[in-house]
A and B are shown apart, each in its own frame.
Chain A
Amino acid sequence: MTTEKTTTTTTTTTTKTKSKNPVPNRERIKMPRQHMPEQLPVLRAQQFTEVNLGYSEELARQEAIRCLECAKPTCVADCPVGVKVKEFVQLIVEGDFMGAAAKIREDNVLPAITGRVCPQEDHCEGACLLKKKGESLGIGYLERFVADYEQQHFDVKHIVKAPPTGKKVAIVGSGPSGLTAAGDLVQKGHSVHVFEALHEVGGVLVYGIPEFRLPKKIIRQQVDYMRAMGVDFETDVVVGRTVTIDELLEEEGFDAVFIATGAGLPQFMGISGEHLNGVYSANEFLTRINLMHAYEFPKYDEPMVDFRGKDVAVIGGGNTALDAIRSALRLGARKAYVLYRRSEAEMPARAEEAKHAKEEGIEFQVLTAPVEFLSDGKGWLTGVRCLKMQLGEPDASGRRRPVPIEGSEFDVPLSVAVIAIGTTANPIVQSTTPGLNTNKRGYIVADATTQRTSRQGVFAGGDIVTGAATVILAMGAGRRAAQGINEYLATGQWDQTIPALPNPA
């Protein structure tokens, strides 16, 4: 049990044990990054099986050997949950894969998931010293390898947790933030109960991220691991409707509640024709496909518009947009476009996803802004009218603002359009919890280090606090919340300036 650490660590104590890496540092710099084996684009564009196939033991060790074992590992400092990258990579070099898994689990309870969907290029790999010399260490690939290895060799006896504290914590939402907090809190000996509104545990991991990027099997395995750790899950509970936060605290005996309800309502564009049949929000589109298995219709009952031979576009440039359009392609779309109003450099999607999408034949139409959905007169979509854009001065986000080019209208014929331009706060919990402060956009206000809200005993984190972000940032909030809750449960004090206290276990 060495889970007590802060996420803001800037240095990690250098391991004094001598490196077991057989290759001298100057040689390691010259070694190429091991490629991730992938399904061929022509094959994968037709099926939902995972694109990346994973490292073998040999590939993993060869890649791990490249690590420079920096005295002050920047990769660790840049990880939102503080995974001890250098240490777990060294364990891979030594061939101790289960040891590496345990090392990751000290900071990250969902390694098989982050190993697949975390934007490593913005965190650990972006900070990797090797990147300056060429290609960064494949930290995400290594994490994935270790997590999958652990899954194959899992035994309940590997689970380590503190003796029971007698405290009960409710987690609202079973997405990455909620699961992370649940994992950390159960390890500290608290009784943890997770409420999920949908019928399956996993939140956005299940309804949002497609099978070809994050197989459902992987999520179920990680959730089963948490069940084995003692976490209780209750599906079909919409907190705010089925039970309120106050009822959880006052009637159901929970000592603390963590609100991790995630991204909220899909945003629409407010342009003409948005109600036409064939226009979807990305959330609905992906939920039908992922959660409800519409791609297996009629084996599964949830229907979906038939994509075969039809032209489909997604509007937006984030990971959600790419997930949607790559799904449409797999459902048989003839042409699949990404319509994005800025240039490719500003696209928020992960570089790897954009690369995969292009390999599969998805056409990127950048500097393109839809202004109107076109109809067949019978309520069905036939296309989208767009304006060409050019980049102007940087806006509040620091990215160059797209400016319409006058008279540049053109039409793209389409049968299906998916709007993936972001989300707004879901109001259900906030509107049913008196005294819970929100900001002007409706997101819950929470302390940045303890995740405490304006209500005693109530913590919040993830997208419901920050607005839409990434899996790993939500997990970081879950970690901080778990620490905040742990401290609160140990002291019973509700003071924003309370100092950190040792683990009650």
Chain B
Amino acid sequence: MFKIVNAQFIAPGIKRFMIEAPRIARKQQPGQFVIIRICEQGERIPLTIERSDPERGTVNIVVQSIGKTTHLLNSLETGDSILDIVGPLGKPSEIASYGTVVTIGGGVGTAMAYPTAAAMKRAGNRVISIIGGRNKDLVILEDEMRGVSDTVFVTTDDGSYADKGLVTDKLRQLIENGTRIDLVLAVGPIPMMRAVAEMTRKERIRTMVSLNPIMIDGTGMCGGCRVLVEGKSEFACVDGPEFDAHRVDFAVLVQRNAMYRDAEKRSMDQYRLEVETRKPEAKQAPTEAVMAGCALEAKQ
């Protein structure tokens, strides 16, 4: 059991959890992730580590409600617990003095880009960050990114905040303006990472992307998270999660991530139904509900 010492929404549907996990907090490095399991019947899902506090023994994760598990997780509050959190997993980002580093965060991907941006800054790089969201509310960690970047650009798809457009539009502008870029790190939705890769390939700018394939154990044992890298299988959990964007087959990643779409929809539909029908008596503490066997109650 791992205690949630703090939980708060930082955007609609996006929640930040501070979880007591001293071993992970002590070891976490930028670019690494955790796998969590909420309850006995729960699935294991990989999640981003936004930061950790070795002194307090806590790690922060940022979670966007997408499927059943993330919805259930985001219904938990301060004082609740989750059954399992394991990590830090994956290889850390390669932090070095590159010169100018552009860190790009799309949506909740910004939470993964943030610790690497901070480490890049500490390593003496000039850090330009581009963060984006569909609208104003979905731009996250802007202040944090400003704190560790020389320049921050913000984009929204609908123009409700800062520059209207995509993060890649801003990257294109930088390139066209002749900005010297030594390394790009992009974390976010696959179409965004793929677009970044295409753009920087032509410019021969070294580009890393942090991939999020389907994963179970996170230790290399199952091979479910295999990605096609220049025609070879590599495992995101032990060889990644960061890969050279110009070597990754994004089409295969998209295809594999869609493997359980039907099952995921079924789980989510059932979850919604249960939440709606059980609303009146759903006031009990989620932890009790969760420990009673992953019951679907949620405080909503």
> What are the interface flags for A243-273 relative to B under an 8 Å C-beta threshold, 1 for contact and 0 otherwise?
1000000000000000000011110100000
> Interface majority SS on A: helix, strand, loop or mixed?
loop
Contact of A238 among B42, B86, B233, B266 (CB under 8 A): B86
- The answer on a CB contact under 8 Å between A242 and B27 is yes
Rounded to whole angstroms, the CA-CA distance of A492 and B24 in the bound complex is 32
- The answer on a CB contact under 8 Å between B224 and A199 is no
Contact of B43 among A207, A268, A302, A379 (CB under 8 A): A302
Interface on A for B, CB 8 Å cutoff?
A: 197-199, 207, 235-238, 241-243, 263-266, 268, 274-275, 277, 280-281, 283-284, 287-288, 291-293, 297-306, 378-379, 426-428
Query: What is the minimal beta-carbon distance from A425 to any residue of chain B, in angstroms?
Result: 10
> What are the interface flags for B205-226 relative to A under an 8 Å C-beta threshold, 1 for contact and 0 otherwise?
0000000000011111111101
Considering only CB atoms and an 8 Å cut-off, how many residues of chain B contact the other chain?
A: 45
- Nearest 7 A/B pairs, CB to CB: A303-B263, A379-B255, A284-B222, A301-B43, A281-B223, A303-B260, A236-B86
Interface on B for A, CB 8 Å cutoff?
A: 23-24, 27, 37, 41-44, 68-69, 83-89, 216-224, 226, 228, 233, 235, 238, 249, 252, 255-256, 258-260, 262-264, 266-267, 270, 294
Q: Contacts A199-B37, A303-B264 given: A275-B87 contact, CB under 8 Å?
A: no
- The answer on a CB contact under 8 Å between A277 and B256 is yes
Q: Contacts A236-B86, A243-B27, A292-B216 given: A287-B263 contact, CB under 8 Å?
A: no
Q: Which residues of A contact B218 (CB under 8 A)?
A: 238
A sample of 13 more A-B contacts (CB under 8 A), given A236-B84, A266-B223, A277-B255, is: A199-B84, A238-B219, A241-B27, A242-B27, A265-B220, A266-B222, A268-B233, A274-B233, A275-B233, A275-B256, A281-B223, A284-B216, A299-B41
Rounded to whole angstroms, the CA-CA distance of A281 and B216 in the bound complex is 12
- The answer on a CB contact under 8 Å between B238 and A427 is yes
- The answer on a CB contact under 8 Å between A301 and B68 is yes
Q: Which residues of A contact B266 (CB under 8 A)?
A: 298
Rounded to whole angstroms, the CA-CA distance of A142 and B238 in the bound complex is 42
Instruction: Name which of A236, A299, A306, A427 has the most chain B CB atoms within 10 A of its CB.
Output: A236
- The answer on a CB contact under 8 Å between B84 and A235 is yes
Instruction: Name which of A237, A287, A302 has the most chain B CB atoms within 10 A of its CB.
Output: A302
Rounded to whole angstroms, the CA-CA distance of A431 and B22 in the bound complex is 23
- The answer on a CB contact under 8 Å between A287 and B23 is no
Query: What is the minimal beta-carbon distance from B249 to any residue of chain A, in angstroms?
Result: 8
Q: Which residues of A contact B69 (CB under 8 A)?
A: 301
Q: Which residues of A contact B233 (CB under 8 A)?
A: 268, 274-275
Instruction: Name which of B87, B233, B252 has the most chain A CB atoms within 10 A of its CB.
Output: B233
Rounded to whole angstroms, the CA-CA distance of A189 and B267 in the bound complex is 48
Q: Which residues of A contact B221 (CB under 8 A)?
A: 207, 263-266, 283, 287, 426
Contact of B263 among A292, A297, A426 (CB under 8 A): A297
Q: Which residues of B contact A280 (CB under 8 A)?
A: 224
Instruction: Name which of B222, B233, B270 has the most chain A CB atoms within 10 A of its CB.
Output: B222
Contact of A268 among B41, B220, B226, B252 (CB under 8 A): B226
- The answer on a CB contact under 8 Å between A301 and B27 is no
Rounded to whole angstroms, the CA-CA distance of A303 and B265 in the bound complex is 11
Instruction: Offer 28 A-B interface pairs, CB within 8 angstroms, sorted by A.
Output: A199-B37, A199-B83, A199-B86, A235-B84, A237-B23, A238-B87, A238-B218, A241-B27, A265-B238, A275-B233, A275-B255, A280-B224, A281-B222, A283-B221, A283-B223, A287-B216, A287-B217, A287-B222, A292-B43, A297-B263, A300-B43, A301-B68, A302-B216, A303-B43, A304-B263, A378-B255, A426-B219, A427-B238
- The answer on a CB contact under 8 Å between A243 and B23 is yes
Q: Which residues of A contact B83 (CB under 8 A)?
A: 199
- The answer on a CB contact under 8 Å between A298 and B259 is no
Q: Contacts A266-B223, A284-B216, A287-B222 given: A237-B86 contact, CB under 8 Å?
A: yes
Query: What is the minimal beta-carbon distance from B253 to any residue of chain A, in angstroms?
Result: 9
- The answer on a CB contact under 8 Å between B27 and A197 is no
- The answer on a CB contact under 8 Å between A197 and B238 is no
- The answer on a CB contact under 8 Å between B267 and A298 is yes
Contact of B216 among A236, A263, A288, A427 (CB under 8 A): A288
Rounded to whole angstroms, the CA-CA distance of A264 and B223 in the bound complex is 10
- The answer on a CB contact under 8 Å between B43 and A277 is no
Instruction: Name which of A199, A274, A378 has the most chain B CB atoms within 10 A of its CB.
Output: A199
Q: Can you name the residue of chain A whose Cβ is closest to the Cβ of B39? A: A301
- The answer on a CB contact under 8 Å between B89 and A238 is yes
Rounded to whole angstroms, the CA-CA distance of A300 and B38 in the bound complex is 12
Query: What is the minimal beta-carbon distance from B26 to any residue of chain A, in angstroms?
Result: 8
Q: Which residues of A contact B27 (CB under 8 A)?
A: 241-243
Query: What is the minimal beta-carbon distance from B94 to any residue of chain A, in angstroms?
Result: 15
- The answer on a CB contact under 8 Å between B89 and A241 is yes
Q: Contacts A199-B86, A426-B220 given: A275-B24 contact, CB under 8 Å?
A: no
Rounded to whole angstroms, the CA-CA distance of A77 and B298 in the bound complex is 59
Query: What is the minimal beta-carbon distance from B28 to any residue of chain A, in angstroms?
Result: 10
Instruction: Name which of B252, B259, B294 has the most chain A CB atoms within 10 A of its CB.
Output: B259
